[in-house]
Structure formats: C-alpha cells, structure tokens
C-alpha cells in the first residue's frame, strides 16, 4: 500500500476535473458511511464526485496504480455498511451521474446512469405508460446504482421480483480499470456467462457500475387494498401462510407492528394508530372480477388466521396513507434512538415461527424490537431500538441481532433478503455458506479484482495476497 499523504492526493487531484474532488474532512466525513449506524467506517483520502464513466475509469486506474482502495457510493441509504469508507480509500460518489439516457417504449427498456433516483425513473417511465417494478421503501431517495449493487427488492417484489430480474445490461469499470459492457438489450440472450447477473448484488466489490439498462413492464391496473388487524405479530405471520395456501399472489403483502405505527404517527400525525399489535396490508392488481376475488380471498385468509378485523378498503386515500406509513417506518423509528436493522428472509411457511422467535429474543435480551416485513416473501426487518448513549443496551441488541441470524438460518432462511451483506452480515454469510462456496466467492473476487482495491473488506473476506 502506498504511503498516504499530499503527493498522493495531488496526483489524484490531477486525474479528475477541477471541483470534483473533495478533501475537507468536515465534508468527506458525511460521505464516509451509509445509514448502518453501527457499522464501522474509516477516514477516506478524498471523495471524488464523478460525472461520467471515463472519469470513473480514471479514478479506478489511479487506484490500481497506487494500490489505493476505492469505495463506490450512491445516495448512502444502505443499511449494511456496504458503502462505508476504508482508511485511506477514495470514496467514489456516483450521485452526480443522474441522467436518464433513454426510455425505449417499443423495446420496453430504459438506460440510466447509476445516480438516477429510483422514484425519478419510475415517474419518467409512467409518462410512457411503462412501469419499473423494483420499489424499495427508500425509492424516493435511493439510486438505481445502489439498488443494483444490493439487488434491492421492495414492496411489490412478492409478485414482480427484485432488481436482478430487471437488469438487462451494465456498463462497468472493472478492477483492472477497463470500461466494459456486459449483458444485452434483447428480450432473450444466453451467449456466454451471465456477468450482468453476477454483478447485481456484488456491492461494488467486483466492479463500479456506470450505466444500467433495465427491463420495463406495461403500466399495471389500479390496486385493491386489504387490511387486517391482529392481536400479535405471530397471528399476522400465520395469515401470511394462509394467503399463500389460498393460492393468491398479492402485489404487496406488508406487516407493520404497533411500535412502528406509533413511531410514524408520533412523527407525522397521520392518525394511523390502531387497536392492534400488528397490521397486515395486502394489495392485488389483478383486473376486474379476478381482482375482486383475490381481495376477498385475502380478507378471508386474514380472518381464518385470527384477524380481529379485516376488510377490503373502500377509501383510496386511506389505503395510500397506510402504505405511505410503511415507507416512513425506518426514519420514524430512527428518531427514537440508534437502530440496528435486520434483513433476514425465511420461507413463507416459517414467518409465524420466526416472528415468535424474535419476540422471545427481544425478551431474552431485554431489547425493544419493532417489526416491519415484506411478509409476502418472508423478508423480515426487525428493528432493534436502543436508548441514545446506552452502551449496555447496545451490547444486548448486538446479541439479539446475532440470535436473529441464527434462528433465521435454523429455519432454512438467509441472512439478507435485500439490504446486502456489507460489513454487518459478513459473519452471518460465513455461517450460511459452506467453505467450498465461500472459496468460490473468493475466487470470483480475485479474478475480477486482482489488485484487491474494489470495496475491500465487504461481503466476504479474501485471503491476504
């Protein structure tokens, strides 16, 4: 590793346009970590706000030549520490690369730079009668590049899939500084290895994404909303399995517990607090009588699973308010104190059992755990809340965090459904994957990043070279 200092910084400054490099510690500090408050981060050498793919390429080549780590960063909304700085790294911000290059209605695709905000793309597509389905709760502020890097999901992925299902092609700067394109624009194509799919979810450890081509769908039908109130999160989990057993695939099926609803209500005064320990919000976008039948089947499943109240919503504004509350949960809960966010995913049939185990973990470690979930696909987001400045509570929450991972794996689940591994889930990934599969990960990392400069220390540890 080259010794850091002003000569190295001067050399980097010469490689990028004036004004694109930031080295004031008061400024770079704000770029040095994502929203995973408990994940460690270092002090970067500098931040480069790249404006095009060629500039990204120059920065990566500089890092190759000098042995300097490079950490790609989007909007910084991640929850696993995947964009956190390493000491002496160049933080490569892609937020200024925010242009929608093309929307092709005939081919049903869009080409965007990585800094395009998810919601901005969705709104632009809607003007053409098209729809980009991946919709993480952070859609109003997270970027497509970050969504691709973590293979983000969202509320409608229970029916429509996650980001990887919509990425057709990528332009990427490799770990050797080459600017390449992988994937295709055609509806079909199986030539060679699927390198685009490999790069989706790689969290900047295999390449720096500079352009994304995504598949679009036609605009969908208006949705019907079904709400159910439950006396416990476990009963709500039972209802999730009941919906699946009824053969209905909702366009969304979300769980929000009492803690989360109260946090949103206290913040936004939306009048949403209800007399229930948990609420399930389901939607169906099937047209006409089919949609009516699906909504009724969901309502019946809720009631059969023990809902204290369930109904098909007739007030569209109220329905939208409930889903808006779901999107506001994380920032609302953050106001209560430091939050450690889980992201485990279990089989749908195991959701109730996993929620019961989370309740027991909370009691065992004397930790407040609020629950939200993309319940329809088993992706749970327990939010572990600690009082500010309470180190003992933080230590207990960390033990609870580890126990949640253990129980998710025990039930046949995975340590992360959509937030990524980053720093927080590296140990969990090592427990989830066999030694042989971990070695495959390391071999791929070494092949695509032979100098070990791309977001080092994230996802999976690579043997020192």
Please spell the DSSP secondary structure of 275-335, one letter per residue.
Answer: SSSEEEEEEE---HHHHHHHHHHHHHHHHHTT-SEEEE---HHHHHHHHHHHHHHHHHHHT
Could you tell me the fold of the domain covering 100-218?
A: 3.30.465
Instruction: Report the chain's C-alpha Rg in angstroms.
Output: 22
Could you tell me the fold of the domain covering 6-95?
A: 3.30.43
Residue ranges, comma separated, of all CATH 3.30.43.10 domains in the chain are: 6-95
The tens-digit pLDDT sequence of the chain (465 residues) is 344 457 999 999 999 999 999 999 999 999 999 999 789 999 999 999 999 999 999 999 999 999 999 999 999 999 999 999 999 999 999 999 999 999 999 999 999 999 999 999 999 999 999 999 999 989 999 999 999 999 999 999 999 999 999 999 999 999 999 999 999 999 999 999 999 999 999 999 999 999 999 999 999 989 999 999 999 999 999 999 999 999 999 999 999 999 998 999 899 888 776 788 999 999 999 999 999 999 999 999 999 999 999 999 888 787 888 888 888 998 999 999 899 999 999 999 999 999 999 999 999 999 999 999 999 999 999 999 999 999 999 999 999 999 999 999 999 999 999 999 999 999 999 999 999 999 999 999 999 999 999 999 999 876 533
Sign for the CA dihedral angle at 291, 295, 300, 302 comes to positive
- Residue-level pLDDT at 414: 98
Please name the residues in contact with 209: beta carbons below 8 A apart, sequence gap of 6 or more: 72, 94, 114, 145, 148, 149, 170, 171, 172, 199
Give the SS3 label for residue 402: helix
Could you tell me the fold of the domain covering 224-410?
A: Vanillyl-alcohol Oxidase; Chain A, domain 3 (3.40.462)
Closest CA to 163 of 193, 184, 139: 139
Q: How far apart are CA 78 and CA 138, in angstroms?
A: 9
- Residue-level pLDDT at 278: 94
Q: Do residues 448 and 175 lie in contact, with contact meaning Cβ atoms separated by under 8 Å?
A: yes
Q: Does this model's pTM top 0.75?
A: yes
Q: How far apart are CA 257 and CA 417, in angstroms?
A: 20
Residue ranges, comma separated, of all CATH 3.40.462.10 domains in the chain are: 224-410
Residue ranges, comma separated, of all CATH 3.30.465.10 domains in the chain are: 100-218
Q: Do residues 224 and 313 lie in contact, with contact meaning Cβ atoms separated by under 8 Å?
A: yes
Q: Which residues pair with 345 in a beta bridge?
A: 379, 414
Q: How far apart are CA 35 and CA 75, in angstroms?
A: 10
Sign for the CA dihedral angle at 84, 88, 89, 90 comes to positive
């Amino acid at each position: 590793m080259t010794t850091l200092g002003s000569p190295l910084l001067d050399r980097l400054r010469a490689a990028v346009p004036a004004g694109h490099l930031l080295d004031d510690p008061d400024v770079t500090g704000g770029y040095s970590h994502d929203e995973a408050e408990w994940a460690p981060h270092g002090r970067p050498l500098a931040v480069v706000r790249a404006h095009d793919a060629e500039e990204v390429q120059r920065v990566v080549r500089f890092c190759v030549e000098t042995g300097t780590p490079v950490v790609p960063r989007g909007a910084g909304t991640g929850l696993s520490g995947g964009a956190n700085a390493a000491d002496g790294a160049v933080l490569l911000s892609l937020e200024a690369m925010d242009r929608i290059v093309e929307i092709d209605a005939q081919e049903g695709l869009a080409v965007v730079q990585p800094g395009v905000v998810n919601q901005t793309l969705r709104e632009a597509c809607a003007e053409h009668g098209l729809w980009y389905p991946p919709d993480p709760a952070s859609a109003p502020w997270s970027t497509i590049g970050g969504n691709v890097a973590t293979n983000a999901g969202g509320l409608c992925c229970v029916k429509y899939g996650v980001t990887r299902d919509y990425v057709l092609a990528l332009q990427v700067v490799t770990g050797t500084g080459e600017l390449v394109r992988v994937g295709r624009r055609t509806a079909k194509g199986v030539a060679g290895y699927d390198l685009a799919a490999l790069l989706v979810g790689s969290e900047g450890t295999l390449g720096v994404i500079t352009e994304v081509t995504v598949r679009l769908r036609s605009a969908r039908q208006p949705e019907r909303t079904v709400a159910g109130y439950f006396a416990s999160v476990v009963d709500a989990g039972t209802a999730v399995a009941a919906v699946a057993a009824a053969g209905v695939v909702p366009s969304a099926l979300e769980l929000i517990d009492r803690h989360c609803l109260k946090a949103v209500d206290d913040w936004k005064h939306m009048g949403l607090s209800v007399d229930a320990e948990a609420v399930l919000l389901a939607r169906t976008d099937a047209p006409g009588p089919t949609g009516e039948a699906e909504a009724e089947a969901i309502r019946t499943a809720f009631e059969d699973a023990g809902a204290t109240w369930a109904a098909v919503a007739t007030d569209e504004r109220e329905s939208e308010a409930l889903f808006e509350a779901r999107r506001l949960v994380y920032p609302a809960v953050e106001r209560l104190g430091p939050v450690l966010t889980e992201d485990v995913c279990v089989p749908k049939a195991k959701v109730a059992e996993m929620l019961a185990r989370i309740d027991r973990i909370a009691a065992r470690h004397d930790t407040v755990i609020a629950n939200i979930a993309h319940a329809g696909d088993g992706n749970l987001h327990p939010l572990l809340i600690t009082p500010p400045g309470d180190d003992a509570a933080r230590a207990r929450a960390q033990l609870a965090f580890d126990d949640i991972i253990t129980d998710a794996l025990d039930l046949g689940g995975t340590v992360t459904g959509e937030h990524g591994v980053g720093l927080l889930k590296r140990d969990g990934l090592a427990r989830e994957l066999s030694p042989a599969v971990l070695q495959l990960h390391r071999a791929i990392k070494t092949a695509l990043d032979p100098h070990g400069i791309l977001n080092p220390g994230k996802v999976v540890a690579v043997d020192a070279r």
